């Protein structure tokens, strides 16, 4: 198909498709003349994936490029999570002191030696933001969050497909970024439901008409 059909098929403006081409997120089509190229079903799928990543998952163009690269060039062994997480984590200031984050992880009985510095840095920054916001987090509450996330993670790691490095890389990389908005929306909906039970509360909108 031509560029204009590709754009229509993917539900995107042609200018956006051209932008993704220029940024190297979308592979070139097959040239049929100096000004025209043909695109196939793989291009449509790739555009849907890009939309998913830059839309709800909120990844930047640079992050999206890293994610697509990780999916295309899977590591040959199963030390995937570190590589996948690196590919989806924005690079951090190396000056962040990770001492507290490492100590917290080790206190939980997890293994900070296997944790990526970027992820430990993200934990440290989240804790600093809570302090800056005047939001007190007790050890008990921290441990509760950690234990809920370990429950989630154990199931996820168990589910990683092991038939090929490529499907494992896809599962891990997309699972990391695409599940995040799902988890956060479920948390808010759970809070709203639980809050209605605790405080009563006014339904924010009438239920849909039958």
Of 10, 5, 85, 19, residue with least CA distance to 52: 10
Q: Quote the least distance from Cβ 19 to its own copies, whole Å.
A: 18
Within residues 133-172, the interface with its own copies by CB under 8 A covers 133-135, 137, 141, 144-146, 148-160, 170-171
Measured from the CB atom, the residue of 38 and 112 that comes closer to its own copies is 112
Element (H, E) at 188: helix 165-199
Of 174, 164, 169, residue with least CA distance to 64: 174
Q: Site mask, its own copies, residues 2-41, x = CB under 8 A?
A: ----------------------------------------
56 binds its own copies (CB under 8 A): yes
62 binds its own copies (CB under 8 A): no
Stretch that binds its own copies, among 1-9, 13-21, 27-35, 47-55 (CB under 8 A): 47-55
| CB-based contact 156:168 (threshold 8 Å) | no
> How many alpha carbons lie under 13 Å from residue 49 in its C-beta half-sphere?
20
């Amino acid at each position: 198909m031509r560029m204009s059909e590709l754009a229509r098929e993917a539900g995107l403006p042609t200018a956006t498709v051209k932008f993704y081409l220029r940024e190297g997120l979308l592979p070139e089509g097959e040239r049929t003349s100096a000004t025209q190229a043909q695109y196939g079903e793989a291009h449509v799928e790739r555009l849907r994936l890009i939309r998913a990543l830059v839309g709800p998952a909120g990844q930047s163009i640079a992050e999206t490029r890293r994610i697509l690269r990780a999916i295309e060039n899977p590591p040959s062994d199963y030390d995937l999570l570190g590589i996948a997480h690196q590919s989806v984590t924005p690079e951090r200031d190396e000056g962040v002191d990770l001492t507290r984050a490492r100590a917290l992880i080790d206190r939980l009985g997890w293994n900070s030696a296997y944790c990526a510095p970027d992820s430990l840095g993200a934990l440290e920054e989240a804790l600093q933001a809570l302090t800056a916001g005047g939001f007190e987090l007790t050890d008990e509450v921290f441990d509760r969050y950690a234990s809920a996330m370990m429950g989630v993670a154990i199931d996820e790691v168990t589910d990683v497909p092991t038939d090929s490095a490529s499907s494992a890389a896809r599962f891990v990389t997309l699972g990391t970024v695409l599940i995040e908005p799902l988890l956060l929306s479920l948390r808010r909906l759970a809070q709203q439901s639980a809050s209605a039970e605790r405080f009563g509360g006014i339904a924010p909108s009438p239920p849909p008409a039958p």
